[in-house]
Amino acid sequence: MKTLKHAYLALLSLTFLYGCENSGESEKAALVKPIKCGVVESFGGLTTRTFNGITHSGSETKLSFRTGGLITRLNVVVGQRIKKGQLLAQLDQTDALLALQQAEADVKNAKVQLETASASFERAQQLYQTNNASLSDYEKAKSTLSSAQSSYEISVKRLDLQRSQVSYTTIAAPMSGIVSLVSVETNEVVRPGQPILTMSREGSRDIEAQAGVPEKYISKLKQGSPTNIRIPTLSGNFDGVITEVGYTSSGGTYPVITSINNPSNQVRPGMPVEVTFTFGDENQEKQLIVPVKAVGEDQNGQFVYLLNPLSDQVYEAKKKIVEIGSLTSGGFIVRSGLTEDQIVAIAGLRTLYDGMKVTLLTQ
């Protein structure tokens, strides 16, 4: 019995020690705090920034039907070369053709009625002029002719409209090029305006690069500014010029389109690219800028918390005394203590301490 009691106490001790060890590990894990961060950047002079993007055709065209229906013909596949005016797709035309035949019959009937009313009016006019018909007979014939004329004109317009409806059931190539995407299949019902296929003009002269640029840089970019474009899959570098600067953001970045000067025949739409933009003024002195929210002050002076990487996700906060200068639109000018591209904390400085483990919050 005594032996059993000692064994029970030993088991309790092991459980307690194991629980304390797990508790310590939990406390360590809890110390890894997520925090917002910023970057020490250069201001003035000429600086470059590179952003990822993708190539696409500048003459890319999405084709769709102007009316809905069932696709009965789809004469293209991805990668096919097509000629201008070539029939690419067609909807079921049964109802449209029946309506067209009815419209044609209505025009013929309206034309006969117009000819009859015209002949009747001529007779009534002659009889009225010779005092062999009354004024009411003349006015009645004139009114009938006017009504028949209106009916004929309306039927002709309906016929033109119905012919257009029939033409809306087909898609012809607006230019010569290559089919880059087919979004539907035969016997599929589509709605008006739904993209059916995408085609691009053949050749590499229309290839452009589109990159996503963060909001802090978008105001510094202008049309006509030079760029450098690298296509990793081709190990090639090309010069370019900014042709479009996005006005609204998508996913936190603004689209910027750059033309590619003299691209090779190997450049095709959909290739990943790295676009390098140049910022600043070469006549202005280059200085370092630190975000305003990154700078704190205590009895030892002004400081920042540098975030040094320990692993892929965990960083160590190190307090660094710095000397700053005047305030600019981008932040404080750094006089000493920091170097370009260092990562600094920009929130919760009072809760940080030397050696604290943190993770970076994406902004």
- Give me the pLDDT at residue 48, please: 81
* Cβ atoms of 359 and 315 closer than 8 Å: yes
Torsion of CA 135, 136, 138, 144, to 10 degrees: 160
**Rounded-to-integer distance, Cα 345 and Cα 224, Å:** 36
Rounded Cα distance, 210 and 52, in Å: 8
**pLDDT value of residue 22:** 47
Q: Note down pLDDT in tens along the chain; length 363 residues.
A: 445 444 444 544 444 444 444 444 444 444 678 888 888 887 766 778 899 999 887 777 899 999 999 999 998 998 888 899 999 999 999 999 999 999 999 999 999 999 999 998 899 888 888 888 888 888 998 899 999 999 999 999 999 999 999 999 999 998 888 888 899 999 999 999 999 998 887 655 678 899 999 887 888 888 888 899 999 888 778 888 999 998 888 777 899 999 888 777 788 888 899 999 987 666 667 788 889 999 998 888 999 999 999 888 899 999 999 998 888 877 888 888 888 889 999 988 888 888 899 998 865
pLDDT of residue 15: 47
pLDDT of residue 188: 92
C-alpha 149/C-alpha 78 separation (Å) is 52
What is the per-residue pLDDT for 134?
Answer: 86
| Largest separation between any pair of C-alpha atoms in the chain | 146
Distance separating alpha carbons of residues 157 and 139, to the nearest angstrom: 27
**Is residue 338 within 8 Å of residue 290, measured between CB atoms?**
yes
Q: Could you give the residue ranges of the DSSP H alpha helices within the chain?
A: 2-30, 94-129, 135-167, 215-218
Domains, the chain: 31-44+286-360 (2.40.420.20), 47-59+203-281 (2.40.30.170), 61-91+169-200 (2.40.50.100), 94-167 (1.10.287)
Report the 10 Å Cβ neighbour count for 337. Answer: 19
Q: Write down the pLDDT at residue 282.
A: 64
- What is residue 192's three-state secondary structure? coil
